[in-house]
Each structure stands twice: as structure tokens, then as C-alpha cells.
Chains A and B, each alone.
Chain A
Amino acid sequence: MLLCILPVEGVQEVDLYEMERFVEKTLPFRTRREVAMLLPPGAHDPKRDQYDGTVILRAALELCPADASRLLVVMEQDLFIPMLTFIFGQAQLDGTAAVVSLNRLRPESYGLPPRRDLFVERYLKEILHELGHTFGLTHCPDPRCVMSLSVNIINIDQKRAQFCGNCTVRLADKLNTLRRESGVTEE
């Protein structure tokens, strides 16, 4: 099964590489990197100077390659939805596309000295979380599980970059269905 990573101009090569390695190690997916996407003009809210996650997801879906089972958009710009001040990421629940912003994941955003390892750990968690939603997983009550809801950076740091037992079982069921649908046989 194929997971396409669709970066928005500005995301570092080294981070994209981390993401690809992590996804291929963690999930039964191959990855393929698409040509960087231009943000749709309607996505930018000049008053808030942020980007509307819903508009970006919609635009990304139009660019989704036919052979992709899942599509992950990664961007540096800050995301929002109209009701909320910001979001770390967004996904189509039990759908195809997800988007993650790296904007609020660096320690520098919180007035702390830079730490590359912490930054990487945070975006890997957020990627796994949003992809989890595309597999139909909803928020998990276990704060250590990657599917627990994060409304601030502390929540993200509390969880691990992996699914809890319950979520793993639900994820496995979903992956089996996907494999059957895409005609992939289990090895």
C-alpha cells in the first residue's frame, strides 16, 4: 500500500526524510514524495495570518495520485479552523488525507533553546496521530497513546510515538480490511 507525502514549499529535506523512514518502519506502507504543493490562495486568512486546514485538505485531495491509499500534507505554516485559534493538524476521519503543521512544534516557539531531537519526536507523533484518524481511530483516553487528544505542546510531549493496545487492535482490523480491498496478500 502506498502513502504519498505531499510537502508544502518550505519543509526541510531532512525532516521529510525522517518522516518517510518513520512511516515505513511503523506502518505497512511504502512512501512516495510528491512535488511540493502551492498553497491555494483561499487558504490564507490575512486577518489571522494563518492557513485554513479544511481548505488545504480539500485542495490536496484534488492532487491525490490515483495509486495512493493515503495522502499526508506537511507544512511549516500555522494552521487553523474557523472555530479554533489554531490546530496542530487535521485529518479526514476514516478518509484519505491528513495535514500536519510543524509551526508550533519547535521548542523555540515556546521561548526555549532549540532541540532537534524533541522537534523530530513531536512531528512524528503528530503524523502518526493524524494518519491514525484516516484509519478511523478517534481520540484515545490513554494520555500515553499517540491517539490521545493534544490541545497543547505539553499533551504532545506526554504521549509516545506509538499506539496503545486498544488502538493497535483497532488499527490492525482496519489495515486488514484495507489490504483485502487493495488486493495485497499478507506475507
Chain B
Amino acid sequence: MNSPWKILVVDDEIAMRESLAAWLQEDGYGVDTAASGREAVEMARETAYDIYFIDLKMPPGINGIETMLEIRKRQTDATVVIVTAYAAVDTAITAIKEGAQEYMVKPCSPEEISIFVQRVIKMKSLQRENVYLRQKLAKQYSFWDIISKNSQMHAIFDLIREVADQRSTVLIQGESGTGKELVARAIHKASDRAARPFVGVSCAALAETLLESEIFGHERGSFTGAIARKLGKFEIAAGGTIFLDEIGDISPKLQMDLLRVLQERKFFRIGGTKEIRMEARVIAATNRNLQEAVETGSFRDDLYYRLNVINIKIPALRERKQDIPLLADHFIGRLAIETNKPVCGISKDALKLLLDHGWPGNVRELENTLERAIVTAHGEVLQVADFDFLERNRHTNAHWDIPAGISLSEIEKHAIEAVLEQTGGNIMESSKILGVDRSTLYTKIKKYDIPR
């Protein structure tokens, strides 16, 4: 059988599995059978089946739901039908909750089973077709995971190709969510350093002393809490690339230290006496206007010139709107698989809504928005209604009524979420609005598990 669609029937009763397999084979599918959950898991390791029919009760060993969960670990998009002898509502609920697409009580009518299989296969073939088309498109418009057909972005791709092999420092500027790290990684991957480490440091996330030890490392006992020697990111990056994100947020002291390293290309671990050579290429990024910071004196001009040897300015998403359909398509394809939802496209009207949105949080906001829409969507194509929350958020931020019985920490969480939404995830701006410093804000974001 050379059917492109493979089905696995899992049942401990031979008559049950063999007869269902034979019946499905008449439909032209490639059907295999397994006599136990363990055998099924083994077989699923070899072949990614499109549909699994799994009997709920299979003594001894693992039951149907456990089998499904085990298969899902490797194949997140597997379609599973849990088959059972009795119509017990609680088992049905468990099966569906744990991720089964369908729950069938045997014997079922031939009609029910064939309609289900046909629906799944139709959906999967549509998805396959889309994946193929997307890959073709993505190849055409992508450069090391960055997707764009915008001319400014293509000028950036050209620049990256040109400077990838040089050792010069690069300064990447762009609003938050524009993909500064992706650009940094692209430079690294396109360079002759690609096989060596790419090490990222988020300068805004840590308090000054911690950041210092993070970057330069420290010797044992160099400060309270330094119980062992620790290698800094500069050392770990070795001959690779070090990416200093949110460089605009570092303290004057660290600016000074960094300048020295860039000038002398060597440094010391904190509390250390041994000189260490700096081999890594430095790429820095910021969403602040560094030129302005230099003028107001909050950022050293000599460091600025050291960093700004090669300058890359990433346009905001609102300046490259032609990429929105391309990016939406790309994210839908990936997120539908990651979230195991049968979504395969977006309606014209919904796309228009996305094109009209301002995207203060840029590509990251677009991705988060699509993920939220996909998770709650009911159909195969995203509709305007699936993006209701885009409007609603705006309103809830404007008039914020505090619900009764809410705890102080919940209020804090909501406040942080609202401000982040408002600033498009800009930490600098958000911390100013909230009146806390950046590392405090980061700690709270982590504590409340707020997605950014």
C-alpha cells in the first residue's frame, strides 16, 4: 500500500484490531496494528501515523490515555481517537481533556467512523499543502529565519552578508519586538564564527553587580555570595559572538568597563588577576535612541562610537506592512502545529484588521496576537471575531475597574500586563510608567509569569 496516510489501530483484542484495520485498508490507508500500548509507542517512534485509534482499556501495561500521552510527547500533532466499550461520560471528558480529538464507543456506525477519518485526512492534506507552499514562500523571502520582502530589510540582509566575516562591532537599533536578536543571530550564522558559541546577555534584566559578574565572570570569594569561580559570558563566547541586548540600559561604571574591553580586547574576571583575551565579536542592541542618550550625557560618547562601527537600524513593523501577510502566514503555520489546532489560514477581513493595527510591540506582538487567536479559534480559518481581544484590551486599559475580592498581587500583575501591552513590551518605558527600576520589573514579570 502506498497511501500517504498512515493509521495505527491499537487494541489488545486481535479480532477488534484486525477487523478495523482491514476495514480501513479498504479505504486505501496504510494501516498497522499494535496489541498493546507499549508496542504502539514503539511503533510510533518509527512512523509518525496520521491517526491513532487507541482502545481505552488494555491490560496489562499502559492504558489508552497513557499511550496517547506517550505518543504525543514525540508527535505533538498526532490525531488520536480513544475507543471504549462503554459510554462513560467521565472517561470521555478525561480523554478529550488530555488531547484526544474524538471519543468513540464501540461498536460505532460505519458512517460515524468514515466521516471522522475523511474529515481528519482532508484537514491534514490541506495542512500539508500549506506547509509546502509556506516553505516555498519562506525560502523565497527568508534570510536566516528572518522573513521579509521589505526593501529596507533586504538592504539589511545585504549588509549582514557583507560584514558577517569581519570582527567589527555591530550596533543594532530598533523598537522592542522588531527582531534584534534574530538579526544578531543571522550575523553570527552567516559568519565564519558560526560553529562557535553565540552568547546573549540581557543587560536590563540584571542589577549592576550581577551583570558585571555575568559578563566578566568572577573568582571565588571576590564578593559575598561568590562561592565558586564563574566564567563570564565574554569567556564562554570565546571565538564566537557575544550579544549585549539593551545596551542602552547599562550603568556608567559598566559603560566604562566595557569601553576598556573593547579598546584593549582583554579583561579580568572580578577579583581576578589573570588577564583574559577577548576573542568574541561584540554585537550590541538597544531600543533606545543612543544618539540622544549621548547628547544628554547618559551614555558615553566614546563607547557609543566604539559600538557603532557598523549600524543596523531595523524598521518597525508599521513601516513594513507588506510583511504582515507573509509573517502572519508563517506564524500560523508554525503555531497551529505547536498548539495542535487545526487552523490553516486567516480570512481577508481578519488580515485587514492586522494590517490596520499599529503594532507598538512589532513582530513579537504580532506573533503573540496570532498565538492567542489560534488557541481560542473555533474554525480552520482565523476570523475577525478571533481577534476581538485586540480591541477589548484597548478599552480595559482605558477604564480600569478593580473587581471586588482581587488581591494586591493580582492588581500588580494586571497593572504590569496593561502597561506592557500599552508600550508594546518595552521594558524601559514600562518601568518608567510604573515607577520601578528595570530589574525590579523583570523580577515581577518572571514572578507572575507574564508573557512578553
Name A's B-contacting residues (CB within 8 A): 48, 52-54, 80-87, 90-93, 133, 138-139, 149, 151-152
Contact = CB atoms under 8 A, between A and B. Distances in A.
Contacts of A92: 22
Nearest to B112: A151
A133 B26 contact: yes
A151 B109 contact: yes
A151 B110 contact: yes
A83 B108 CA distance: 6
Nearest to A152: B111
B109 A83 contact: no
B108 A93 contact: no
- 3 closest A-B pairs by beta carbon, nearest first, are A138-B28, A81-B19, A151-B111
Interface residues of B, number: 21
Interface of B: 13, 15-16, 18-20, 22-23, 25-28, 83, 106-111, 113-114
Contacts of A91: 26
A162 to B, nearest CB: 19
B15 A85 contact: no
A82 B17 CA distance: 9
Nearest to A138: B28
A52 B107 contact: no
A54 B15 contact: yes
B113 A84 contact: yes
Contacts of A82: 13, 15-16, 19-20, 106-107
B422 to A, nearest CB: 53
Contacts, number: 67
12 contacts: A48-B107, A54-B15, A54-B18, A80-B107, A82-B19, A83-B20, A84-B113, A85-B107, A87-B23, A90-B22, A133-B26, A152-B111
A52 B107 CA distance: 13
A33 to B, nearest CB: 26
A142 to B, nearest CB: 13
Contacts of A84: 20, 23, 107-110, 113
Contacts of B110: 84-87, 151-152
Main secondary structure of the interface of B (DSSP, over half): helix
A138 B28 CA distance: 5
Of A82, A83, A85, A139, chain B has the most CB atoms within 10 Å of the CB of A83
A149 B107 contact: no
A138 B26 contact: yes
Given A54-B15, A83-B83, A85-B107, 7 more contacts: A83-B106, A84-B110, A85-B109, A138-B26, A138-B27, A139-B26, A149-B26
B15 A52 contact: yes
B28 A139 contact: yes
Given A80-B107, A86-B110, A152-B111, A53 B19 contact: yes
Contacts of A53: 19
Nearest to A83: B20
A133 B28 CA distance: 10
B139 to A, nearest CB: 32
Contacts of A80: 107
Contact of B25 (A52, A87, A93): A93
A93 B22 contact: yes
Contacts of A81: 19-20, 22-23
B21 to A, nearest CB: 9
Contacts of A85: 107-110
A152 B15 CA distance: 23
A54 B22 contact: yes
A86 B106 CA distance: 11
A127 B326 CA distance: 52
A53 B107 CA distance: 14
Contacts of B109: 84-85, 151
A75 B160 CA distance: 76
B8 to A, nearest CB: 14
B27 A149 contact: yes
Contacts of A149: 26-27, 114
A149 B19 CA distance: 16
A79 to B, nearest CB: 11
Contacts of A133: 26
Contacts of A90: 22-23
Nearest to B18: A54
A129 B30 CA distance: 20
A53 B19 CA distance: 9
A83 B107 contact: yes
A151 B114 CA distance: 8
